[in-house]
A = this chain, B = another copy of it.
Amino acid sequence: MSRYVKKRTKSLGQPPGSLVHIGEIVTEKTKITVIDYNEKKYEHKTDVPLKECSRYFDSATVTWINIDGVHDVSVIERIGEMYRIHPLLLEDVMHTGQRPKIEDFGEHLFIILKMLTFNEEKDRVEAEQVSLLLGKNFVISFQEREGDVFTSIRERIQGDKGRIRKMGADYLAYSLMDSIVDHYFIILENFGDKIEELEEELLEDTSPKTSSRIHSLKRELVFLRRSVWPLRDIVNSLERGENALIKKSTLIFLRDVYDHTINIIDTIEAYRDSTSGMLDTYLTQMSNRMNETMKVLTVIATIFIPLTFIAGIYGMNFKFMPELGWKWAYPTVWGVIALVGVGMVIFFRRRRWL
């Protein structure tokens, strides 16, 4: 089945807000990690039992609850109850085939993003759904599997690098988004390298494989584009600062993310133009070569077929063929052959085929 739609037969006919996991299950056990911090305090717990999570709901410190694995209905449901999350949001967390989007529920900001990785083996971009829920003092992040995207942020919090410990939950949410968006550049660099390689291949030596590589690159760019495009509206809507959860001091950073997003979209479009151009180049090359092949065939065939006919004539066994007995017949035939041959060559020269 295609990457663009995930089997949702399980949820058909269910009342809205029913929690059914849609997508592949890629983690065995749901794992909860909590980081709780403010300028002075720092607490980091892994494998936190579910019931302990409620404790952080009202704390004045910033709490980041990270949940790896979204297939376990009971976990998602309990978290939802503790943090008073609307069932439709929980449904979206579990339906991993969502389009990136933002939903403003007043006291909650809910953001769905796509974490993209390039699977070298399958030669395709793969998307993992990351959902962020921003509340007054907390951020809950849901990932399909354990990943290392957020490691640098964890380190920044722990080491008190940058301003992250001094800012609120909105800055944390920004940092998570920024770190996801930053990883898109790695894929773009990867694609940039491939385009360069293909451009050189096109200049030097192409084979049918070249075309299939261009086609596959084009297909992946289409996928990439669809995953990144909605991001623009998301960041733009955040950056306008209409929700009270986003403080003014964070807005300037969101503008930076917005710039990155535009940059990424722009680059994808440039890559799409490049691949289209390369495909055109390839097809023109093919056409040129076909023409070249045809010319070679035509030149050879057109020169030798009439000559073979002449030879064939004097290979006939008729009794009464006066020429056969003539003394200078054989050299004369060679002369005719030379004449026809040279005439043909001149003809092809004129047509610039030789």
Contact = CB atoms under 8 A, between A and B. Distances in A.
Interface of A: 1-2, 4-5, 7-9, 12-13, 15-18, 86, 88, 97-99, 101, 103, 151-152, 155-156, 161-164, 178-179, 182-183, 185-186, 188-189, 191-193, 195-196, 205, 208, 211-212, 215, 218-219, 222-223, 226, 252-253, 255-256, 259, 262-263, 266-267, 269-271, 273-274, 277, 279-298, 300-302, 304-309, 311-321, 323-330, 333, 352-353
A188 B5 contact: yes
Q: Which 8 A-B pairs have the closest CB atoms?
A: A15-B162, A13-B152, A311-B312, A2-B192, A314-B316, A315-B315, A297-B298, A208-B288
A321 to B, nearest CB: 5
7 contacts: A4-B188, A4-B267, A212-B284, A215-B284, A222-B277, A286-B287, A304-B305
Contacts of A290: 287, 290-291, 294
A291 B291 contact: no
Contacts of A152: 12-13
Contacts of A326: 318, 320
A15 B211 CA distance: 41
A157 B271 CA distance: 42
A353 B293 CA distance: 9
A320 to B, nearest CB: 5
Contacts of A9: 186, 189
Contact of A182 (B12, B279, B293): B12
A282 B324 CA distance: 52
Report whether over half of chain A's contact residues are helix, strand or loop; otherwise say mixed. Answer: helix
A193 B108 CA distance: 37
Contacts of A205: 352
A2 B301 contact: no
Nearest to A99: B263
B293 A5 contact: no
Nearest to A252: B88
A293 B291 contact: yes
A256 to B, nearest CB: 6
A160 B236 CA distance: 42
